[in-house]
């Protein structure tokens, strides 16, 4: 049995173990990060962008066809519609290159070219897109790729090809790969859909073509949704993966693995460790009413203070998350709509992870003088006081009148 065959068998066994572990024990935590045979690796959560794991994650490395993550992004940002037809330039890939057999002059839709780019990782489709989006210049297209990398803050990335062949100056890092894949997935539903296809049929071109995803985990692992493979002699086997379980999406990247089975098993081990050990919590949602202070001079009325933004955070499973309100118990108008009246402090495991301003949900006007006077008059104590005062006045008047009558009678009697 050859060394390569032994490695493939071991890799397949590892995949089976990882899949079974995730299916049967989805919440069971591993003792620590998995031991992986990779050159570099990274793991992030998509919603928050939090990095959960990194192994030489910022080291620039060859990335092979993972380059096409950027090729797809530039295409999607610059084509008018997916039905647009491109003509294949004079490009002849090497027989060993991944390709769909496009011939010079063949016409194919951008829709099908992007599928060919991301599913079977066709080099001739990449060249076609780059030439046409670059208005007849692949070099111009590569310049657009590098400009976009700078715009996205991919500091460990540079491109010299839209394909990903081993050429000087074409590299990225595991951390940049997951960031780019996350951006692609969240900014294009079409991209997210095609990278999750196990296979597809290309209907445009000189003839229909049936293509199969080079990411053989897609379709085999139910929760895995892409994203891109890569392989050259310089890069080894590369895989950028994405999976969703329990409402949380994780993105992984492994580079420099020795075989397809090693690429797959390392990816599943990394994603599996992430799902088993972490969870996404949202203790505060935008607009949640978190505080109801009383209002001075408005008895029985409570204002509403709402969260100005949501807080989502990835925490180790079982971590206690709580919210503490720092705001006055009593407020007074006038206050404008969305005036800041305090904050909500979010703790995870005793550590502050966020502070959220609390905003007044409705405008709070000042109480008018007439309303204050009316409220004062109608208070029970005030009414009793007025009644006593009126009673005293009435009594005084009655006594005064009685005495007046008595004096008048005395004046009329004879001496």
Q: Are residues 108 and 147 in the same domain?
A: yes
Q: Are residues 83 and 123 in the same domain?
A: yes
Give the pLDDT of residue 372. Answer: 43
Q: Are residues 205 and 333 in the same domain?
A: no
Domain boundary pick from 244, 277, 310: 277
**Whole-model pTM?**
0.81
- For residues 252 and 247, give the distance between their C-alpha atoms in angstroms, rounded to a whole number: 17
Q: Are residues 311 and 187 in the same domain?
A: no
Please identify which residue in the block is written with the tokens 């895995």.
224
Question: Is residue 80, in this structure, part of any structural domain at all?
Answer: yes
- Count CB-CB contacts under 10 A for residue 345: 15
Give the pLDDT of residue 25. Answer: 38
Which CATH number goes with the domain that contains 304?
A: 2.60.410.10
Give the pLDDT of residue 297. Answer: 86
My answer on whether omega of the bond before 334 falls inside 30° of 0, hence cis, is yes
Q: What is the DSSP letter of 34?
A: P
Q: Are residues 196 and 114 in the same domain?
A: yes
Check the CA dihedral 279-178-221-15 and report its sign.
negative
Q: Are residues 202 and 342 in the same domain?
A: no
Check the CA dihedral 82-85-89-91 and report its sign.
positive
Write phi, then psi, for 99 (nearest 5 degrees). -160, 165
Domain boundary pick from 235, 251, 277: 277
Question: Is residue 390, in this structure, part of any structural domain at all?
Answer: yes
Q: Are residues 324 and 207 in the same domain?
A: no
Question: Is residue 43, in this structure, part of any structural domain at all?
Answer: yes
3-state secondary structure of 29: coil
pLDDT digits (tens, 9 = 90+) for 79-104: 999 999 999 999 988 777 899 999 99
- For residues 281 and 319, give the distance between their C-alpha atoms in angstroms, rounded to a whole number: 10
Instruction: Return the closest-CA partner of residue 215 out of 196, 201, 234, 232.
Output: 196
- For residues 133 and 325, give the distance between their C-alpha atoms in angstroms, rounded to a whole number: 53
Please identify which residue in the block is written with the tokens 């492994």.
254
Which CATH number goes with the domain that contains 241?
A: 3.40.710.10
Q: Where are the beta strands (DSSP E) in 72-223?
A: 85-87, 107-109, 199-202, 209-212
Domain boundary pick from 277, 309, 324: 277
Please identify which residue in the block is written with the tokens 């003088």.
369
Write phi, then psi, for 39 (nearest 5 degrees). -80, -40
Give the pLDDT of residue 30. Answer: 42
Give the CA-trace dihedral at 333, 339, 340, 346, to 10 degrees. Answer: 110
Q: Are residues 178 and 266 in the same domain?
A: yes
Check the CA dihedral 198-201-205-206 and report its sign.
positive
- The domain total for the chain is 3
Question: Is residue 414, in this structure, part of any structural domain at all?
Answer: no
Instruction: Return the closest-CA partner of residue 38 out of 314, 300, 266, 296.
Output: 266
Are 242 and 185 a contacting pair, CB within 8 Å? yes
- Which two three-digit tokens encode residue 196? 């999750």
Give the pLDDT of residue 16. Answer: 46
Question: Is residue 85, in this structure, part of any structural domain at all?
Answer: yes
Question: Is residue 411, in this structure, part of any structural domain at all?
Answer: no
Q: Are residues 241 and 262 in the same domain?
A: yes
Give the pLDDT of residue 358. Answer: 98
Give the pLDDT of residue 354. Answer: 97
Q: What is the DSSP string of 239-269?
A: EEEEEEETTEEEEEEEEEESSHHHHHHHHHH
Q: Are residues 63 and 105 in the same domain?
A: yes
- Which two three-digit tokens encode residue 257? 């693995």
Boundaries of domain holding 89 = 3-277
* Residue ranges of the chain whose pLDDT lies below 70: 1-31, 368-387, 391, 398-400, 402, 405-415
Which residues pair with residue 306 across a beta bridge?
A: 289, 359
Q: Are residues 289 and 272 in the same domain?
A: no
Q: Are residues 318 and 401 in the same domain?
A: no
Question: Is residue 245, in this structure, part of any structural domain at all?
Answer: yes
Question: Is residue 123, in this structure, part of any structural domain at all?
Answer: yes
Give the pLDDT of residue 26. Answer: 44
């Amino acid at each position: 049995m050859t060394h390569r065959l032994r490695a493939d068998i071991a890799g397949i066994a590892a995949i089976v173990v990882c899949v079974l572990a995730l299916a049967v024990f989805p919440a069971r935590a591993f003792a620590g990060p998995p031991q992986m045979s990779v050159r570099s690796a990274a793991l992030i959560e998509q919603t928050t962008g939090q990095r959960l794991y990194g192994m030489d994650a910022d080291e620039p490395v060859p990335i092979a066809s993972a380059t096409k993550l950027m090729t797809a992004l530039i295409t999607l940002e610059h084509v008018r519609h997916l039905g647009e037809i491109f003509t294949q330039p004079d490009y002849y890939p090497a027989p060993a290159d991944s390709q769909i057999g496009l011939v010079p002059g063949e016409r194919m839709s951008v829709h099908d070219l992007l599928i060919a780019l991301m599913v079977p990782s066709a080099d001739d489709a990449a060249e076609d897109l780059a030439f046409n989006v670059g208005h007849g210049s692949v070099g111009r297209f590569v310049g657009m790729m590098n400009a976009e990398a700078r715009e996205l803050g991919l500091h460990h990335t540079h491109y010299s090809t839209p394909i990903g062949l081993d050429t000087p100056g074409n590299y990225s890092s595991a951390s940049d790969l997951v960031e780019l894949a996350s951006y692609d997935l969240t900014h294009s539903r079409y991209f997210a859909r095609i990278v999750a296809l196990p296979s597809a049929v290309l209907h445009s071109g000189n003839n229909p073509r049936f293509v199969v995803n080079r990411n053989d985990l897609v379709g085999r692992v139910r929760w895995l949704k892409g994203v891109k493979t890569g392989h050259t002699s310089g890069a080894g086997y590369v895989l950028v993966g994405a999976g969703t379980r329990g409402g949380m999406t994780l993105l992984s990247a492994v580079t420099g693995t020795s075989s397809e089975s090693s690429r797959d098993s390392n990816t599943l081990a990394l994603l599996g460790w992430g799902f088993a050990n972490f969870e996404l919590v949202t203790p505060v949602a935008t607009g949640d009413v978190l505080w109801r202070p009383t209002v001075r001079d408005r008895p029985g009325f409570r204002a509403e203070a709402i969260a100005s933004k949501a807080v989502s955070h990835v925490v180790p499973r079982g971590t206690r998350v709580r919210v503490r309100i720092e705001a006055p118990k009593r407020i007074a108008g006038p206050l404008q709509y969305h005036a800041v009246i305090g904050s909500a402090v979010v703790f995870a495991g005793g550590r502050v992870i966020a502070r959220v301003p609390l905003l007044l949900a409705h405008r709070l006007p000042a109480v008018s003088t007439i309303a204050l006077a009316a409220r004062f008059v109608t208070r029970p104590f005030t009414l009793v006081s007025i009644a006593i005062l009126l009673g005293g006045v009435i009594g005084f008047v009655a006594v005064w009148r009685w005495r007046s009558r008595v004096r008048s009678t005395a004046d009329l009697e004879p001496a």
